[in-house]
Amino acid sequence: MAYAATAPRGLHIVARLNAAFAAVKAARKRRAAYEETVTELSALSNRELTDLGVDRHDIQRIAYEHVYTL
């Protein structure tokens, strides 16, 4: 006689919900980091940005690359 080792159906749903909440939490954390980076770079003067080799129109791209492409 063979026995199947399966988890009860309810636990599978709970695990999926926990994974979904973890994914949302991680996405919110990345978004907050993106917004913080944009805010900090936007607060710099044009001269400071030039010293860093950054144009003001590149701020969002740089923040995106910093946060989402690790």
> What are the tens digits of pLDDT across the range 25-68?
999 999 999 999 999 999 999 999 999 999 999 999 999 999 99
d(CA 30, CA 59): 16
Burial 24-36 (b: 16+ CB within 10 A, else e): eeeeeeeeeebee
What pLDDT shows up at residue 12? 87
pTM value is 0.75
Q: Reply yes or no on whether the pLDDT at 19 is more than 90.
A: yes
